[in-house]
Structure formats: structure tokens, C-alpha cells
Amino acid sequence: MTLYLKNANYLDAETLDIRNTHLAVEPGPRGGLAFCDSSPSDSELSAQDRMMDCRGRLVTRSFACGHHHIYSTLARGMPAPPRIPANFLEVLEYIWWRVDKRLDRDMIEASALAAALHMAKHGVTFCVDHHSSPYAIEGSLETIARAFEKIGLGHLLCCEISCRDGQGPMEAGLAETDAYLSSGCRGHVGLHASFTVDDDLLKRSVELARKHGTGLHVHVAEDLADQEHCLKTYGKRVIQRLHEFGALESPHTILGHCLFLDEQEKKLLRESPVWVVQNVESNQNNNVGATGYTGLTDNVMLGTDGMHSDMLRSAKAAYLVGQNTEGVSPDQMYARFRNVHRFIEAVDAEGDGANNLVILDYDSPTQITSANFSGHFIYGLESSHVLSVIAQGKMIVEERRITSVDEAEILAYARDQGLRLWQKLAEA
């Protein structure tokens, strides 16, 4: 089956060249995109082929998220914590660690389906997720993978492993990761952060990542407390500690946040192939501060950190905050927004090929050109302009409606599971 898009104003996501053309979208996780001088006639289409007229629409590569926590989807509107957190460590203790300890398989599935649905409707067709459910670990990654694939999203997954809940959940996290990656699925070895991971676990995690030809996915210096703990406990800073254990050797490795780094740490990052994920809205929400990423490494991409599933929103927030921290330009932020595709390609993951497209109903009152598109990207484009979405060659959103699943059914399921979670929190 081939999907044809005729009369498309196609924007090349890398060069920003814009041309009116006809497109043939190939199906499959590694499918491509062909440009046609003319669109096929009805008689030339097979029974499985489909033609869509994109006249007046802007068509470009769909979006991807470099760092998410999809389980947080069920946290919207949840009961207030037992006390108002006074700092970042208390945010973890009184909010997120209370949530993740009470997740079960149904809640995990519901949160994954709802998050994937929201991502799709916002033009996101690939997600790198960092999952945490310390008392419901077995089979959690497969559950998330199935949910994503039901909607039509590509993915790289991991489950968070740490020492914070004791030996049992830690060993279960290592076992789940090993089983998932051994099954042929792609992902990472997920760690929480330096301050919740001892030397033995860090060593075992690096070894596990090497075994499966992947890297770590870990939060780094999200708060100053992470550095303070590392200096007090190990006599070194977080990046130095990761470096000494070989955690910075893999181009698969993702370091989230990286707010509180000194010059030596930044030098180590520049000399390594790892990737850094910027999560501005989460940092502002947790009141941990902000930093500039220019010059840190060329490998900086954007994530949502579980705040929402809208990557256009994340890019705009990063740009606005970046005016104060690093004087970032619209061009620079657009490149950072698209860097996640470089990462996915570098690790040879499936599901983010040229056949992942977003069709935008963006009728600008001003001209759109290659030279000014980044300005439209920052100041014009919104997720409300996402009209249709193609993932791996299949239409998963058409005229702002999910086609792959029953949206109302998924949202009803998520609401039920959200209430179950909130009841557990109320009883704690």
C-alpha cells in the first residue's frame, strides 16, 4: 500500500527548502519518501493505495521527543501531596516517588495509551521514554511498547533502576531491562540519577548496556543536590563519576538536564559521543533553575520530561528561557528541536524514517520561505495547526482525529485508571 500526497507544499526538515510537489509515502518502519512529477490517476492506483490532496497544506517531517515520562499522564489533577515540597528532593519524595510506587500494569498501559494518543495528535511519532514503576516492573516495558505500537508510534524505552527502594526493585529493574533488550527490542539501561545509584549498580548497568550494544538513560545534575551528594559520597562530580565507570563511551547514552556542571565536566561531555536532553518547562516547574547549552556539546535535543506531550510547546519554552541563559536564535532552537532525529538515526532505531510526516493547516498571513521558516516555527506554528499525521507510512491522525484506535475508549480507560491511582495515593 502506498499513500500519495498530491499538491503538497513540502518543507525539507533539514534544508528548509520548500517546494510544491507530489509525494509517494512508503509503508513500514524503515519506509521512505519519493517525489513525483505528477500524481497517479485513479486508474493507476491499486485497491490498497490511497490519494490525499494536500493543496494549501504544509507537509514536513513529524516530530520526536528525546525524554519523556509517560506514566505522569495519570498525574494531571491528582490530589495534592501530603505537604508542599520545599525543594527538588521533596518534589521527588512527596510527588513522583509516591506516584510511581503505586502504579500497576493497567495504570501503566492506560498512561502509555493516553500519552501516545496525545503525542500523535501533536505531531509526535517517536518517543524516547524513561519509565518508573518500582513495584510493577516485570513486563512494564513490553506493555508500553504494545501501547505505543497500537497508536502507531516508534520508541526507545527503558525502566528506571535505582537503589532508592532496596535490593528487590533494583534487581527486578536489571532483570526487566535484560529481558526486554534480549528479546530484540531496542532501548536503554535506565538509571534514575547519581545520588540514587551506588557504585555496584552503576558498574552493573554499564556492563548491561555494553552487553546489548546500547547506552544509559540517566538524569544528571537536575538539581544541585545531585552534585553535592556525589562530592560528599564519592569525592568527585557526577560527570567525572560517570566517565570513570565508562558511562560516557556510548553514542547511545542520554543524559537528562545537565544543569549544574563545571567546566571540567563540560569538557568531558564535549569529548564524548553522548547526548544531552534539555527539559526547560520541567526545570522551571521544579524551580531548579536554568542553564545555557550552547557550547556544551553539539548533541543537544529536546524533551518534555513528562510535563506534556507537545514538542512544539517544548521548543518555544526552551527558546524563551534561552534568551536569558544563552541568547539562542530561532535557527539554533529549530536545529535543537530536530536533533532527536540525528540521535535516532545514529543508534539505528526503527520508526523515524522519512515516511513520518505531519500535515499542517498553517495559513500564515505572511510569506513562508526557507530563510524565515525558523521565525514561523517559534512565533507562528502551534500544535493546533497539526491537521493529519503519518507514522511509518500510515495515516494515524486524519483531520485531527485518531484513526488507529477509538480515542474515547482510551480516554475513558485512562480516567478509570487515574481514579484508581488517586485512590491509592489518598490511602497512603
Cα distance between residue 154 and residue 185, in whole Å: 11
**What digits encode the pLDDT tens for the residues 389-420?**
999 999 999 999 999 999 999 999 999 999 99
**What digits encode the pLDDT tens for the residues 38-83?**
877 766 777 788 889 999 999 999 999 999 999 999 999 999 999 9
Tell me the average pLDDT across 279-298.
96
Question: How confident is the prediction for the chain on average, in pLDDT?
Answer: 96
**The predicted structure's pLDDT at residue 428:** 75
Taking the domains of the chain in order of start, what are their residue ranges? 3-61+353-402, 63-346
Are 74 and 417 within 8 A, CB to CB?
yes
**What digits encode the pLDDT tens for the residues 209-249?**
999 999 999 999 999 999 999 999 999 999 999 999 999 99
Quick one: pLDDT band at residue 202, thresholds 50, 70, 90?
very high
**The predicted structure's pLDDT at residue 43:** 63
- Burial of 287 by CB count in 10 Å (0-12 exposed, 13-18 middle, 19+ buried)? exposed
Q: Please say if the pLDDT value at position 150 is more than 90.
A: yes
**What digits encode the pLDDT tens for the residues 300-338?**
999 999 999 999 999 999 999 999 999 999 999 999 999
Cα distance between residue 42 and residue 115, in whole Å: 37
Multiple choice CATH, 3-61+353-402, 2.30.40.10, 3.40.605.10, 2.60.40.1180, 3.10.20.30: 2.30.40.10
**The predicted structure's pLDDT at residue 39:** 76
Among 325, 330, 328, 222, smallest CA distance to 282 is for 222
**The predicted structure's pLDDT at residue 239:** 98
CATH 3.20.20.140, applies to 63-346: yes
CA distance to 213, 333, 356, 363, per residue, from 369 (Å)? 41, 17, 22, 13
Q: Please say if the pLDDT value at position 149 is more than 80.
A: yes
**The predicted structure's pLDDT at residue 16:** 97
**The predicted structure's pLDDT at residue 61:** 98
Are 259 and 283 within 8 A, CB to CB?
yes
Q: Please say if the pLDDT value at position 354 is more than 80.
A: yes
Is pTM beyond 0.95 here?
Answer: yes
Among 149, 295, 276, 153, smallest CA distance to 217 is for 276
Cα distance between residue 301 and residue 313, in whole Å: 14
